[in-house]
Amino acid sequence: MRRRVGVGLVALVLSSAAFGTSGPFAKSLIEAGWSPGAVVLLRIAGAAALLLPIGLWQVRHQMRAVVRELPLVGLYGCLAVAAAQLGYFQAVERLAVGVALLIEYLGIVLVVLAVWVLTRRAPHRLTGVGIVLALVGLALVLDVTGQRTPDLVGVAWGLLAATGLAGHYVLAARETTLPSFTFAALGLGSGAVVLGVLGATGVLPMVAGDSRVDVAGHATPAWLALAELVVVAAAVAYVLGVLGARHLGSTLASFVGLTEVLFAVLFAWLVLGELPGPWQLVGGVVILAGVAAVRLGERARAEDGERDGADFDLPSPVA
């Protein structure tokens, strides 16, 4: 597929905005007695049920291609969907939300390391600058200050979430014969199966809470909050995320995806009335600087690759 940076940027920013809506609605459900496991399973399973019929219809004449790509799709579902969701929600039970999210976004470092290992080429120095700026910006946006020594078990769950996040950007950027829509649908389906098994075995508690939840100070049906999580925060978010990653490549996509934190802060302000502080605004600027730095680093690396006749992107999976 020919990569278009403009299309990729728009798709991934919209994906980040969609993902960013999940926080306020999920929080309203959890505060009404819903367990995190139940919320995430309904979110992923609902999105899979919504997307799979359309995704399979797109490839109705290419079922052999679907079978060939099942290992990649299954790995994406396990890492990008199940591990990322399970790791994050488990970490939140033991750590402050900001700390858990910061640990999860260490996955961007894992992306750079994965590209380094697979291509055997060190990232450009500007990419390294982007890593530092992005992590500093995240710390400012999340306002992670004055924390005591974190729970080590919670840190371990956060690292699992980071691995899942890295898996999303690395695997979504791999070239496949499947359309982005179908790939996302199958990935959500496989992730839902994994989460369902964890729930059935008691590893992931499943508790349904009240039928009405508080959203922006208004009593709202729980099904409406769940519908937002399924349609916007999962279905739309994952489809656009896969499309954007394929156009941008895994490294740049992982940095643009950091804007999810900014959108999460914005929606928390609009829906929950949680106003961002001045340091969070500064952190947003620093994150954008990190995105710009990694973009310059990727461009410089691509120019070096053209002069050397080498391709530094992630290799395609073996058919």
**Which three-class secondary structure string do you get for 256-312?**
HCCHHHHHHHHHHHHHHCCCCCHHHHHHHHHHHHHHHHHHHHHHHHHHHHHHHCCCC
Segment among 96-100, 168-172, 226-230 with least mean pLDDT: 96-100
Instruction: Quickly count: other Cβ atoms within 10 Å of residue 316's Cβ.
Output: 9
Q: When comparing pLDDT for 230 and 98, which is higher?
A: 230
pLDDT band per the 50, 70, 90 thresholds, residue 5 = low
Q: What pLDDT score was predicted for residue 316? A: 32
Q: What pLDDT score was predicted for residue 314? A: 37
Helix (H) or strand (E) holding 243: helix 237-248
The residues with which 215 forms a beta bridge, in sequence order, are 218
Q: What are phi and psi of 50, to 5 degrees?
A: -75, -40
Report the C-alpha gap between 113 and 119 in whole angstroms.
Answer: 10
* 87-104 average pLDDT score: 73
* 241-250 average pLDDT score: 77
Is pLDDT at 173 greater than 70 in this prediction? no
% residues pLDDT > 90 (the chain): 8
Nearest to 252 by CA among 142, 136, 76, 123: 123
Report the C-alpha gap between 87 and 90 in whole angstroms.
Answer: 5
Is pLDDT at 142 greater than 70 in this prediction? no
Q: What pLDDT score was predicted for residue 310? A: 41
Is pLDDT at 16 greater than 60 in this prediction? yes
**Residue carrying the six token digits 């691509």:** 302
Q: What pLDDT score was predicted for residue 153? A: 84
For residues 105 and 162, the answer to whether their CB atoms sit within 8 Å is: yes
Return the SS3 of 213. Answer: strand
pLDDT band per the 50, 70, 90 thresholds, residue 317 = very low
Global model pTM greater than 0.75: no
Quick: pLDDT tens for 31-66: 888 888 888 899 889 988 988 898 888 888 888 878
Report the C-alpha gap between 17 and 15 in whole angstroms.
Answer: 5
Report the C-alpha gap between 51 and 63 in whole angstroms.
Answer: 17
> What is the bridge-based pairing of β-strands 218-221 and 212-215?
antiparallel
Q: What pLDDT score was predicted for residue 14? A: 92
Q: What pLDDT score was predicted for residue 313? A: 44
For residues 83 and 164, the answer to whether their CB atoms sit within 8 Å is: yes
